[in-house]
A and B are shown apart, each in its own frame.
Chain A
Amino acid sequence: MAKSKLEEINRNIYDIKNKDDYEYKIKKGLTKEIVEEISKQKSDPEWMKELRLKALETYNKLKLPTWGPDISELNMDEIATYVRPKTKLNSSWEDVPEDIKNTFDKLGIPEAEKSSLAGVGAQYDSEVVYHSMKEELLSQGVIYTDMETAVREYPELVKKHFMKCVPVNDHKFVALHGAVWSGGSFVYVPKGVKVDIPLQSYFRLNSPESGQFEHTLIIVDEGASLHFIEGCSAPKYNKVNLHAGCVELYVKKNAYLRYSTIENWSKNMLNLNTKKAIVDEGGQVDWVSGSFGSKISMLYPMSILNGKNAKTEYTGISFAGGGQNLDNGFKVVHNAPNTSSVVNAKSISKNGGKCTYRSLVKITENAKNSKSSVSCESLMLDDFSISDTIPVNDIQTDEVEFSHEAKIGKISDKTIFYLMSRGISEEDAKAMIVRGFAYPISKELPVEYAVEMNNLINLELEGAIG
């Protein structure tokens, strides 16, 4: 029988390990000397160097979180925080070295760029190796570049926003990020400009026992709109890798930003990422998030609705297999009247994997006539997987509409029998149920990414039966 497109995939594309062939890899550990060396390597302006050193001090003062998954296995003495690949930033794939280009080819990035993206950034270990954007966006004044270039070329804009949305002392791993950040993307969409086709940055971590600390800063100015897609993956090594990126989003008056993520880090990755958006009057930020990889993930994107009529939606799915502990969720602060938030979170766990939905809904006294509706649903594929929901709701005014709904379920034998009675094998029936469960998320993604997400689901379900 002809295999459908969805079946013709294998894990190999994510697992390709290139030789750990770098131009420069900083020695492992985290000291003032190392941070100064990174700063020197990157020719930071003075303010950035100071920010890094201050962040390091903060890092040393802050304690590990006392809640959530156990991350005590992380030993910063064993992590190289900066790995520069053997190439400069290129604007043509032809100039990207063969092995790196091959990796991105297999991940389908140049192909997607041709067919469905307005711009692409590709980061390999600590540096962005490729960046490109369509001419017409350039002429409309859209800026899309790597973070280092932005620091050099748009110092005012960057300085005004860099780590202002996510302050360095937010938590220990933000402080770490501030000290050693490298790479990432900067986007500025000028007033009134609607970017119809998505921009995408892809982050690939190849080097073992290293960390990726990319910084993404996006400003969507008044009345403008943008869809930004972030993809991440890494091959699996036996030792721990660390990802502590930071995403700061500024959505100005009546602007719209959709931020989509497909994360498929390898299962030795600690993903301690921080993402926040500040939304002004009438603005809207929508998060779409698929979390498949990582050994441990602690990821809670946050929307701060600061202007009246600001809106946010979060649509996310986590899929934890054996040995994975995905502690994901969403935080929202309603800080102005008539603001609204809609959360639709789903999780799937199998083979002893653990998914936790951890959330915060805070509605301040200012936020009269606001609405918040939260729905979270979990699906466990066997009896020894774990699913948990830990919501915190802090509602300081009565004049709100708030609802929270949580459902935890299993695939029922009856449903499997029903599908099997239509000629569908047990394995395919389970995959179909899971794909259907994930559909509200995948339908929010551009079709190529929805296909990738279904591929990932099928990958995760391979061999799950029996």
Chain B
Amino acid sequence: MGSKLLEIKNLNVSAEDKQILKGIDLTINKGEIHVIMGPNGSGKTTTANAILNNPNYTKTGGTIIFNEEDITNLKTDEIARKGVFMSFQLPEEIPGISVTNFLKYAKNKVTGEPVKIFQFKEELKQYMESLNMNPNNIERSLNVGFSGGEKKKNEILQMLVLNPKLAILDETDSGLDVDAIRTVSKGIEMFKNENNAVLIITHNTKILRSLEVDYVHVLVDGKIVKTGTSELAKEIEENGYSKYKK
């Protein structure tokens, strides 16, 4: 496996004065797919938000190293420009800003280079075909009036276009039907290479059937209680989390 991409050390996070993460350690190397599983309220989404330093979450301890750089206290947009991406569980709707214009703008910010329009549109078209997306959606306002499935696919589209080093997918599979889950998996496969990594956060195991994952971590009550391979996911699918709860 490749070199270290993300290293989380003893991360403690609180939100609204409640301690949620209680000392998380997690290392992700280039070329790996990791999965964090856990019951509702265990701190999965908090982990994703903490990596991107969402100001509504307070880090009370620990560090996050990304690509040999301490990103613990950087602003969200700076972290994104270093190559971290997060697919949202509930993507925000932005009226009046088209998907194309948004992506063009974000791509320019992330790469720091002017976007070549023709090439960009071509690229967009291909990705959308692969993701079975309605090509008319690119002129619609970002996520406005999109169905749950369309929003999730749109997140995967953004991941492909922005091409981060680390993609965090927060419950991207939840609420999707089998076909949509397959499309999302396909998107992840298209994205994945030996120089980047994926962190999938989920509470069910459906998406893991069509993806090869390297590590599965079980998160319960703000702590990683067990780390294993995809076998661990299978075990949880059968037996649930009760074994790991106190």
Q: A residues touching B (Cβ–Cβ < 8 Å)?
A: 1-2, 412-415, 417-426, 428-429, 432-433, 435-440
Contact (Cβ within 8 A) B86 A421: yes
B residues near A435, Cβ cutoff 8 Å: 96-97
Main secondary structure of the interface of A (DSSP, over half): helix
Residue of B nearest to A436 (CB): B96
A residues near B108, Cβ cutoff 8 Å: 1
A residues near B106, Cβ cutoff 8 Å: 422-424
B residues near A422, Cβ cutoff 8 Å: 77, 80, 85, 102, 106, 109-110, 158, 162
Q: How far is the CB of B215 from chain A (nearest CB, A)?
A: 24
Interface positions of B from 50 to 87, Cβ below 8 Å from A: 52, 54-56, 75-77, 80-81, 85-86
Contact (Cβ within 8 A) B95 A439: yes
Contact (Cβ within 8 A) B80 A420: yes
Contact (Cβ within 8 A) B95 A420: no
B residues near A419, Cβ cutoff 8 Å: 92, 94
B residues near A424, Cβ cutoff 8 Å: 77, 80, 105-106, 109
Given A417-B54, A423-B77, are A432 and B92 also a contact pair (CB < 8 Å)? no
Question: A439 touches which one: B55, B88, B91, B96 (CB < 8 A)?
Answer: B96
Bound CA–CA A80/B172 (angstroms): 66
Given A413-B56, A421-B85, A424-B106, are A437 and B77 also a contact pair (CB < 8 Å)? no
Q: Can you name 25 A-B residue pairings with CB atoms under 8 Å?
A: A1-B108, A1-B112, A415-B92, A417-B52, A417-B54, A417-B76, A418-B92, A419-B92, A420-B75, A420-B77, A420-B80, A422-B77, A422-B85, A423-B77, A425-B109, A426-B75, A428-B109, A432-B102, A433-B94, A435-B96, A436-B94, A436-B95, A436-B96, A439-B96, A439-B97
Given A2-B114, A413-B55, A414-B92, are A420 and B97 also a contact pair (CB < 8 Å)? no
Bound CA–CA A435/B94 (angstroms): 10
Bound CA–CA A1/B115 (angstroms): 12
Q: How far is the CB of B99 from chain A (nearest CB, A)?
A: 12
Q: How far is the CB of B78 from chain A (nearest CB, A)?
A: 9
A residues near B141, Cβ cutoff 8 Å: 436
Given A435-B96, A436-B141, A437-B96, are A423 and B91 also a contact pair (CB < 8 Å)? no
Contact (Cβ within 8 A) B75 A437: no
Bound CA–CA A424/B79 (angstroms): 10
Residue of B nearest to A417 (CB): B54
A residues near B75, Cβ cutoff 8 Å: 420, 425-426
Bound CA–CA A406/B55 (angstroms): 31
Given A424-B106, A432-B94, A438-B96, 17 further pairs, Cβ under 8 A: A415-B92, A415-B94, A417-B76, A418-B88, A418-B91, A419-B94, A420-B80, A421-B52, A421-B77, A421-B85, A422-B158, A424-B105, A429-B77, A432-B97, A435-B97, A436-B95, A436-B96
Contact with A along B4-48 (1 / 0, CB 8 A): 000000000000000000000000000000000000000000000
Bound CA–CA A421/B54 (angstroms): 9
A residues near B76, Cβ cutoff 8 Å: 417, 420-421
Please give me the 4 A-B residue pairs with the lowest Cβ-Cβ distance, nearest first. Answer: A436-B96, A439-B96, A420-B76, A423-B109
B residues near A428, Cβ cutoff 8 Å: 109
Residue of A nearest to B162 (CB): A422
B residues near A417, Cβ cutoff 8 Å: 52, 54-56, 76
Q: B residues touching A (Cβ–Cβ < 8 Å)?
A: 52, 54-56, 75-77, 80-81, 85-86, 88, 91-92, 94-97, 102, 105-106, 108-110, 112, 114, 141, 158, 162
Bound CA–CA A433/B94 (angstroms): 7
Contact (Cβ within 8 A) B95 A432: no
B residues near A1, Cβ cutoff 8 Å: 108, 112
Select the residue from A1, A412, A415, A420 with max chain B CB neighbours within 10 A.
A420
B residues near A2, Cβ cutoff 8 Å: 114
B residues near A439, Cβ cutoff 8 Å: 95-97
Contact (Cβ within 8 A) A423 B162: yes
A residues near B81, Cβ cutoff 8 Å: 423
Select the residue from B77, B91, B95, B102 with max chain A CB neighbours within 10 A.
B77
Bound CA–CA A429/B86 (angstroms): 17
Q: How far is the CB of B140 from chain A (nearest CB, A)?
A: 12
Bound CA–CA A429/B97 (angstroms): 11
Residue of A nearest to B54 (CB): A417
Residue of B nearest to A428 (CB): B109
Contact (Cβ within 8 A) B94 A423: no
Q: How far is the CB of B151 from chain A (nearest CB, A)?
A: 11
Residue of A nearest to B164 (CB): A423
Bound CA–CA A368/B158 (angstroms): 51
A residues near B112, Cβ cutoff 8 Å: 1
B residues near A414, Cβ cutoff 8 Å: 92
Bound CA–CA A420/B158 (angstroms): 13
Bound CA–CA A365/B95 (angstroms): 38
Bound CA–CA A429/B85 (angstroms): 16
Q: How far is the CB of A190 from chain B (nearest CB, A)?
A: 38
A residues near B92, Cβ cutoff 8 Å: 412, 414-415, 418-419
Residue of B nearest to A377 (CB): B95
Bound CA–CA A428/B75 (angstroms): 14
A residues near B158, Cβ cutoff 8 Å: 422
Bound CA–CA A95/B196 (angstroms): 65
Q: How far is the CB of B184 from chain A (nearest CB, A)?
A: 18
Contact (Cβ within 8 A) A436 B86: no
Bound CA–CA A437/B142 (angstroms): 12
A residues near B114, Cβ cutoff 8 Å: 2
Residue of A nearest to B106 (CB): A422
Q: How far is the CB of B219 from chain A (nearest CB, A)?
A: 21
Select the residue from A2, A417, A432, A433 with max chain B CB neighbours within 10 A.
A417
Bound CA–CA A412/B54 (angstroms): 13
A residues near B97, Cβ cutoff 8 Å: 432-433, 435-436, 439
Bound CA–CA A420/B76 (angstroms): 6
Bound CA–CA A429/B54 (angstroms): 15
Bound CA–CA A436/B92 (angstroms): 13
Contact (Cβ within 8 A) B96 A423: no
Bound CA–CA A230/B55 (angstroms): 44
Bound CA–CA A2/B76 (angstroms): 21
Q: How far is the CB of A375 from chain B (nearest CB, A)?
A: 13
Q: How far is the CB of A431 from chain B (nearest CB, A)?
A: 11
Bound CA–CA A433/B105 (angstroms): 13
Select the residue from A428, A429, A435, A436 with max chain B CB neighbours within 10 A.
A436
Q: How far is the CB of B187 from chain A (nearest CB, A)?
A: 17
Contact (Cβ within 8 A) B80 A440: no
Residue of A nearest to B97 (CB): A436
